[in-house]
Structure 1
Amino acid sequence: MDQKLIALDLDGTTLNGKSQLSSKTKEVLQKAQEAGHIVALVTGRPNRNSVNYYDELGLKTPMINFNGSLGHIPHQHWDKEYELTFNRKITFDILHEKEKLGIKIIAAEGKNLALADVPNNVLDGYFPTALKSTEVLNQMNLQRDPTSMMLLVDPDKKDNIVHQLESSFGDRITVGVWGGPNPILELSPRGINKTYGVRYLANYFNIDRQNVIAFGDEHNDAEMLTYAGWGVAMKNGTDKIRSLANDITPLDNAHDGMAYYLEDYLNLA
C-alpha cells in the first residue's frame, strides 16, 4: 500500500468523550506509523492544550494548530515552521466594541501567546479561569499579531455579531462559528482552514493528495475532508460533515470509531 498521510482532528474524533486517548487509538496509530504511514494531528486547538496528546502518542511529525494557521514540530526547531497571523489592530477594534456587540470574553492566541480580557468561570478549558497581569488582553500585553481569536458571545446576538465582524473585517479575517452548545466564534486569517496545513504537510512529505486520509466531525473539518483523497466523517459528526465525506465510521468517538476504521482501512489488524 502507498504511504498515507493520516490527518486527524482531535476533539470528537481522535479523543473520546472524556477528551482522552484510548489504548485502542494509541495502539492503532502506533501500528500505522510502524507500517510507514505519517500520522499528523490537525486541530483547532492551540498548541498549549494539544501537545500533551502529541506526546502521549509519541509523535515526531509536524502538528497543525489553530485550524491550519500554525504548523510546527513541538519541542524542537523546524526550519519549515510557519505561523499565519492577522493585524492586532483588529483585536483592539473588537475590544473597543465589545459591550455594544454583545461579546462576553475575548481571547487572542498564537504559538507562545494566550491573552484574555476577563477570566472565565463559564466554559471549562477554552478560556483561562484566572489571569495574571501579563495575561490580560490589552494594548500593553498584545505586542504582536495574533494567530487566532476566540469570542464567547451572547447566543441571541451571535448572528448579528458574525454579520458585523464580517462587514468590518471580512477582507482580513475569516469568522468561524462553533457547532455544539457553546456560542463561540473563532477568528482566523482570511481564507485559512485546516486544508492549508494538510496541503503543507502533503507537500513537505511529498504525498499525493489521493494518499491523504482525513478524519473529522465538526464544521472546521469540512475543507480538510473535501481536500483529502479519502475524507472520513465520524458517526458522531454533524450532518453537514457526514454529507461531505467519502465514508462514515460505523462507530462513534466514544467507541474508538477512528481507530477501528483506520485499522481496517490500512489492513493493520
Structure 2
Amino acid sequence: MIKMIALDLDNTLLNSKMEISDMNTKILKKLHKQGKKIVLCTGRPINAIWDWLNQLGLMSEDDYSVNFNGSLIVHNIDKKPLMADGMKRTHFKNLHDFCVNNNFPLDILDFSGLYPISDLPISGYEKRFGTSLRAAYTPFFKLPEVDYSKAVICTEPATIDQIVKTLPKQLKEDFHIVRSQPMILEFLKPGIDKGSALDLLLRHFEWTRENLMTFGDAENDLEMLASAGIGVSMANGTPEAKQTANHVTALDNNHDGVADFLETYFATND
C-alpha cells in the first residue's frame, strides 16, 4: 500500500508558470486528508517552498519536506530539522579552485541562506528565489565556520554542458554531483540525495520503500525514482528519468500530469 507520495517541484508538480495547478492541489489535498503523507522534495530551502506547503495544507503534526536535494529533512509546522547532513567550508576548497581557474560563478548554501562567492563572477542563482532566500555576498575564505548543505554553479546551459564534460576526477570523488536544471549543477555531500533522505523518512514512520510513490523529471530525482515502490517520471522528464522510473505520466507538468496519474492509480489500486 502506498502511504507516502514524494514529489519534485520544478517541471514536475510546478507548471512553467511556477504554480501548482488547481487540479494538482485538489488531488493532493484529497489524498492527504485520506492519510497519505505528501512530501515535497526539492533543492530549495523551506522558506522558498512555504507558500506551496500552505497551498497544499501540509501543516499537520506529521508533515515533512525534503530540502537541498536530500541534505535536510524539515518538520514543516515548526521548521525544525529531522535530519541535517552538511559539510564544512574546507570541503569546497577544490571546487573553489576549479571555479577560480575557469572563471565560473559559485554559490554555497548553508541550511538557511545563500553565500554567493564574491571573489568569483556573480551568478543568477539568487534571482531564482527572490526574497525567500537570505543572500550574503562573501569571499570564499571569509565564509563562516558553519555547516553547509551544498554548492551550486549556475550559468548558461552550454557552459554547464562543458563543465560536466571536464570535471576533474577529484571533484567527482569530493561530491555527489547532479544537474538539477539545464543551468544549475549542484555539489552535494557524497551519499546525499533525495532517495537517501526519503529512506530516512520512511524509517521514521516505520514504513518501507514499497509504501513510497515518487514523481520526478531530472537527474537529481533519479535516486528517489529508483528507490520507490512506484517511481513515476513525468512525460516531460529526461530520458534518464523515464528509464529509471517504472511508470511515466501520460501528461506533462503543464497539463496536470501528476493529478492525472494519481487519479488513475488510486481509482484502481491500493
TM class, shorter-chain normalised? 0.7 to 0.9
Q: For 2:207, give the aligned amino acid.
A: I
Q: Distance in 1 between matches of 2:79 and 2:45?
A: 18
Q: Give the conservation status (yes or no) of the 8 Å contact 1:217–1:236.
A: yes
The reply to whether residue 9 of structure 1 matches residue 11 of structure 2 is no
Q: How well do the aligned residues superpose, as a CA RMSD in angstroms?
A: 2.8
Q: Give the conservation status (yes or no) of the 8 Å contact 1:232–1:249.
A: yes
Range 7-16 or range 46-55, more displaced: 46-55
Question: Which aligned pairs between 1:258-269 and structure 2 lie closer than 5 A?
Answer: 258-267=258-267
The reply to whether residue 140 of structure 1 matches residue 142 of structure 2 is yes
Query: Any unmatched runs of 5+ in structure 2?
Result: none
Q: Give the conservation status (yes or no) of the 8 Å contact 2:107–2:125.
A: no
* Counterpart residue number, 1:174: 176
Q: Distance in 1 between matches of 2:156 and 2:236?
A: 26
Q: Give the conservation status (yes or no) of the 8 Å contact 1:86–1:172.
A: no
Range 68-77 or range 10-19, more displaced: 68-77
Summarize deviations over 1:219-250 as a string: whole Å, max 9, x none.
Answer: 11111111000111111111111122111111
Judging changes above 3 Å, is the alpha-carbon distance between structure 1 residues 124 and 226 closer, same or farther for their aligned structure 2 residues? Answer: same
Judging changes above 3 Å, is the alpha-carbon distance between structure 1 residues 121 and 204 closer, same or farther for their aligned structure 2 residues? Answer: closer
Q: Distance in 2 between matches of 1:4 and 1:48?
A: 26
Q: Distance in 1 between matches of 2:262 and 2:218?
A: 19
TM-score (normalised: structure 2):
0.85
Judging changes above 3 Å, is the alpha-carbon distance between structure 1 residues 190 and 16 closer, same or farther for their aligned structure 2 residues? Answer: same
Question: Which aligned pairs between 1:68-217 and structure 2 lie closer than 5 A?
Answer: 68-76=70-78, 78=80, 81-103=82-104, 105-118=105-118, 120=122, 122=124, 125-126=127-128, 134-153=136-155, 158=160, 161-162=163-164, 166-180=168-182, 182=183, 184-217=184-217
Q: For 2:201, give the aligned amino acid.
A: L
SS at match of 2:200: helix
Query: More helix by proportion, 1 or 2?
Result: 2
Q: Distance in 2 between matches of 1:172 and 1:98?
A: 15
Summarize deviations over 1:203-231 as a string: whole Å, max 9, x none.
Answer: 11122211211111111111111100011
Q: Distance in 1 between matches of 2:83 and 2:189?
A: 13
Q: Give the conservation status (yes or no) of the 8 Å contact 1:107–1:117.
A: yes
Judging changes above 3 Å, is the alpha-carbon distance between structure 1 residues 169 and 242 closer, same or farther for their aligned structure 2 residues? Answer: closer
- The number of aligned residues is 262
Q: Distance in 1 between matches of 2:164 and 2:77?
A: 36
Q: For 1:173, give the aligned amino acid.
A: F
1:107 Cα deviation from its structure 2 partner: 0.7
The reply to whether residue 53 of structure 1 matches residue 52 of structure 2 is yes
Q: Give the conservation status (yes or no) of the 8 Å contact 1:251–1:257.
A: yes
1:83 Cα deviation from its structure 2 partner: 1.0
Q: For 1:32, give the aligned amino acid.
A: L
Q: Distance in 1 between matches of 2:166 and 2:147?
A: 21
Q: Distance in 1 between matches of 2:257 and 2:162?
A: 37
SS at match of 1:8: strand
Q: Distance in 2 between matches of 1:97 and 1:177?
A: 17
* Counterpart residue number, 1:22: 21
SS at match of 1:207: coil
Q: Give the conservation status (yes or no) of the 8 Å contact 2:115–2:135.
A: no
SS at match of 1:192: coil
* Counterpart residue number, 1:248: 248
1:92 Cα deviation from its structure 2 partner: 4.2
Q: Distance in 1 between matches of 2:134 and 2:5?
A: 39
Q: After the TM superposition, list the runs of 4 or more consecutive aligned residues in structure 1 that deviate by more than 4 angstroms.
A: 118-124, 131-134, 153-166
1:137 Cα deviation from its structure 2 partner: 4.5
Summarize deviations over 1:69-110 as a string: whole Å, max 9, x none.
Answer: 1111135164x611111231133443344331241x211112
Matched-pair identity in %: 30
Q: Distance in 1 between matches of 2:134 and 2:19?
A: 29
Q: Give the conservation status (yes or no) of the 8 Å contact 2:95–2:171.
A: no
TM-score (normalised: structure 1):
0.85
SS at match of 1:81: strand
1:45 Cα deviation from its structure 2 partner: 2.1
Q: Distance in 2 between matches of 1:134 and 1:27?
A: 38
